């Protein structure tokens, strides 16, 4: 019985973590984007994305970047499904805090300003599926 418990506990913990990640971040979902989506914001977001994100996510943001860490699968940021939440606040939180089961994507807090991160959110919205 003890061996079964030792096997099941990690399995249940992993299932809970996957479910929680797929549901997004309820606190972040409440955060509203303070940067209006404009041509200037989208251009600034594209520049920040190109400088910081394209290496893993690819120039077209489809998750096909040439320098993604081995055995990782960066998200396609242009598709309709956002595993970590689709609100602007949730996208911002992923950029700020990082993502992945082992946080293969490091967060950009301290590397990009909040405005830069919101501009990236606006850029991603401009290239995503409608």
pLDDT tens string 2-49: 554 444 444 444 433 443 444 589 999 999 999 999 999 999 999 999
Query: Is residue 1 situated within a structural domain?
Result: no
Query: Is residue 11 situated within a structural domain?
Result: no
Range of the domain at 61: 25-127
Query: Is residue 75 situated within a structural domain?
Result: yes
CATH number at residue 36: 1.10.760.10
Number of domains in the chain: 1
Given a cut of 70, whether residue 115 has pLDDT beyond it is yes
* pLDDT tens per residue across span 60-91: 999 999 998 888 889 999 998 888 899 999 99
Query: Is residue 64 situated within a structural domain?
Result: yes
Q: What gap in Å lies between CA 1 and CA 87, rounded to an integer?
A: 44
* pTM confidence score: 0.80
Query: Is residue 53 situated within a structural domain?
Result: yes
Handedness of CA 10, 15, 18, 23 (dihedral sign): negative
């Amino acid at each position: 019985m003890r061996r079964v418990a030792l096997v099941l506990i990690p399995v249940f913990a992993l299932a809970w973590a996957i479910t929680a990640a797929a549901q997004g971040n309820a606190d972040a979902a409440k955060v509203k984007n303070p940067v209006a989506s404009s041509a200037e914001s989208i251009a600034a977001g594209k520049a920040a994305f190109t400088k910081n994100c394209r290496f893993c996510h690819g120039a077209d943001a489809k998750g096909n970047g040439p320098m993604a860490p081995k055995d990782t699968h960066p998200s396609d940021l242009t598709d309709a499904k956002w595993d970590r939440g689709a609100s602007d606040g949730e996208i911002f939180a992923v950029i700020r805090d990082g993502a992945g089961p082992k946080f293969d994507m490091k967060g950009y807090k301290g590397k990009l300003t909040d405005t830069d991160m919101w501009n990236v959110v606006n850029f991603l919205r401009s290239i995503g599926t409608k």
